[in-house]
Structure 1
């Protein structure tokens, strides 16, 4: 790593000059042949001694001028990791260690202590990164941040921080629909409970209109209709749940059972027929009908 000055190189057929470096200001730990650590980015000098030529100091007035030794910036690429939160979960995330380095673009020279300070997360709709008050709707967003914690970080590195993915996944919403027993012709009021509503939502606000009987059932017909009372979601009755019924919730439904009992009408249940001494009685129960005829004797 040298050149000769003008009209001041080797002459007389001499060759084989070698420079042995003995000091380099760019090196702070180790030696010029076994570097352990460099100095910060900047301009320094290195020097050395000449050898390798027979009778060098006898035949030449040797001058070795110091050379420049520059330390240039390393590339530091920080890829922010994916962050996932459940809709309505207000727990703050630990962003500080949520990163990986790019290929051949991490910390070098013994540097350590990198910390990422998040400055924005699209998954948060209310509050701050450390005091979340409301999440965004279920979906895919991104988060960004700045790197710090390493001495002379911006001096020694070309820093690139690539945004990370921030996803909001649906929360679990479970409906438990009540069983109902009614009498023919008497309207029922269907009820139930919802567990898991979050993020300030109301049932009406997310499209739930209450609880309703499936259209396949006629409540005027005596019988037991298992799992036929469902949840009215966006105008349709649902007896089973799924991922696509509500944007921000994974819906689970435990449907209710409707039992229809026969009505009591004395004129139908007991009367005398037109024939002397004839009578009929209809005895009805929930699942079966008995018809009993008792015949009289002729006079």
Structure 2
């Protein structure tokens, strides 16, 4: 497994200022260093302990005899060399940093991560998250499509596909169990794809939104109960809208369908809209819950891949659909 700690991106080519300097002395030091690409400077004491940072704009606006420590910004985000590069990506994205100071266990400045390297880390982490959400394994490196061999592509994709294919046997077993229901009421098969697709889409949307919010640090595990309540409220609104769509579709497209016995189109419409509503609510909560569970166990929320959620909610959708159909339409 590749080393993904931030030490792989530490640059020793940085410029720090002694916290004891005056503004005038600091500006003279900056002139001698002669690097116009720098926008901010890190302050250290005599033991190289990081004391803060100061921007070039603040130095130019201050009085020459003013101590630069009085201008120091204390909100200086730092990382240790052994921290994961994903944490660096989060800091660069969330705080729009120009650079990121790296300190050791004694709080001494040992290097920086430059803006260019920060953008490279962001690219790698974003690619890794996208691939994991699509069920593709690998190390998440920003490797061009053509640079990977066919065998590497197969290796990266086959794991999830085999696992999901095995899970698909469960769906087949459910269909076999309710085979008699399909024989008695063929109309159930017409609306089965709509139930499955709506659940998969709702779950994937919810998982994507929560995974992104966790990656950006917008949400924390302590917010889990609030997230679930919010997603539940969202799912109720989505379920109501989709239930109306389902009712309209049944009414306009199958109102003249011949139904066995004393079944009515209205009862079929009620069954399908109820199944769709429950499926959307369940799928949304599953999609929101799985990234939170992954985060709780210190795993990347992106490993809860979109294909996996789709397969899981397909299974739940079949159970919900046929259970309601057997109770409401077939008196089972």
Q: The TM-score by the shorter chain falls in which range?
A: under 0.3
Q: Which has the larger share of strand?
A: 1
Query: If the length of structure 2 is used for normalisation, what is the TM-score?
Result: 0.23
Q: Which has the higher helix share?
A: 2
The answer to which structure, 1 or 2, has the higher relative contact order (CA under 8 A, 6+ apart) is: 2
> Which of the two has higher C-alpha Rg?
1
